[in-house]
Amino acid sequence: METLNKDYFEDFETELTVFSPGRINLIGEHTDYNDGFVLPTAIDKKISLSFKKNNTAETCNIYSKNFDAFLQFQLSKIEPSTTEWENYILGVIHEFQKRNAPITGFDCVIHSELPIGAGISSSAALECGTAIGVNSLFNLQFSSEDLITFSRDAEHNFVGTKCGVMDQFAVVMSEKDHLLLLDCKTLAYELIPFNFSPYKLLLINTNISHNLASSEYNKRREECELGVKIIQQNYPEVTSLRDVNLDMLNSLKPDLDETIYRRCKYVISENNRVKQTVKNLKESNLNLVGELMYASHEGLRNSYDVSCPELDFLVDFSKSYELILGARMMGGGFGGCTIHLIHQDFINEYTEIVSAAYQKQFGINATVIEVNPCQGSYIKI
């Protein structure tokens, strides 16, 4: 096969296109891999992936418009790559192959409007878009839940981040104007209406992505698992932090390393905050929702240690403005975005104020992104 170039993708006759969105999370951070609760949704910014079969037995050709980069691989020789974006695709194909799915050669052109490293899961959007596209192109009949699992496992096995299921679930299952209250243990979910005009959700991207993110992420997961092991010695019925309450944890404080105690305390408190947030949303108590967002950030900053000065600055800065009800860092941490619950009439003015202040403090431009809860991935033929 000749070396891939743009000419190959000229006159691309698409058989199907998958639109796969990014996601936000109102509250419930680092709870998913602890069998806990999260409150994410997909947003109106997405990746598009156009697919067609290419009539070869096993040659696949991918073009990423954003990177202006090509990936060619043989289905019989799939292994992890040193180029990160390639692993999101290769990892998903590998999961299909583990189930002996009958895939043959295909071509795919990818275009993304999602910033990378912003904590809005461009990676899950790419994984799920690949999974949904390949499933449909070859009529494989896997369920949405299967495709979510393949996408999550691709991240574990090919990328190396031992993530939970929140991102992939939100990317696939979200509905317009709703948040998704997901029980990450059972995968049962409830759609929570979210349309609180004049209040809107605003992201502010620090445009910082500290490279500790992946190693520290896996470390947090291990710390939580260690906490569970110790708790189980006194409470054998406990299988995850989801089964633990603060009284139980406090009764064991002398047995727990101080760091492990703080990690567990944060996760237990955050699960409670998700439930309280849903209750307050149902009662339209947006002020209380905002307070819970600030409390979530406090926990992520001081107990879970996954924030950074840029995120803290953006959250602290918003506290002086009454027209902002709440703010917190969003996603894995160590950079990426903050999410703000803000009055829509204040968005333009605040964008100017906060951009100038952030630039002055760090010498970096922040990017402000207005987001609306949207439907999850869909296919257009």
Residues marked as catalytic: 167
Please identify, using beta-carbon distances, which residue of 37 and 194 lies nearer to ligand GLA.
37
Identify the residue among 17, 24, 29, 358 touching ligand GLA (CB under 6 A): 29
Measured CA to CA in angstroms, residue 210 lies from 317, 329, 338 at distances of 21, 14, 15
Closest approach of Cβ 119 to ligand GLA, in Å?
7
CB contact burial 38-72 (16+ within 10 A = b; e otherwise): bbbbbbebbbbbbbbeeeeeebbbbbbeeeeeebe
Please identify, using beta-carbon distances, which residue of 29 and 153 lies nearer to ligand GLA.
29
The answer to whether 222 and 162 are in contact (CB under 8 A) is: no
Closest approach of Cβ 5 to ligand GLA, in Å?
34
Measured CA to CA in angstroms, residue 358 lies from 247, 285, 310, 365 at distances of 40, 30, 8, 7
Please identify, using beta-carbon distances, which residue of 133 and 335 lies nearer to ligand GLA.
335
Q: Per-residue x/- mask for ligand GLA, residues 213 to 252, rule CB under 6 A?
A: ----------------------------------------
| Using rule CB under 6 A, residue 91 touches ligand GLA | no
| Using rule CB under 6 A, residue 37 touches ligand GLA | no
DSSP 8-state assignment for residue 157: I
| Using rule CB under 6 A, residue 32 touches ligand GLA | yes
Closest CA relative to residue 33, chosen from 178, 209, 147, 169: 169
Residue 170, phi-psi category: left (phi > 0), alpha (psi -120 to 50), beta (remainder): alpha
Q: Which stretch binds ligand GLA (CB under 6 A): 24-32, 274-282, 310-318, 319-327?
A: 24-32
Identify the residue among 17, 20, 24, 33 touching ligand GLA (CB under 6 A): 33
Please identify, using beta-carbon distances, which residue of 121 and 149 lies nearer to ligand GLA.
121
Measured CA to CA in angstroms, residue 361 lies from 282, 310, 312, 313, 366 at distances of 38, 9, 12, 9, 11
Q: Which stretch binds ligand GLA (CB under 6 A): 28-36, 101-109, 173-181, 242-250?
A: 28-36
Rule CB under 6 A: which residues touch ligand GLA? Answer: 29-30, 32-33, 121, 163-164, 166-167, 331-332
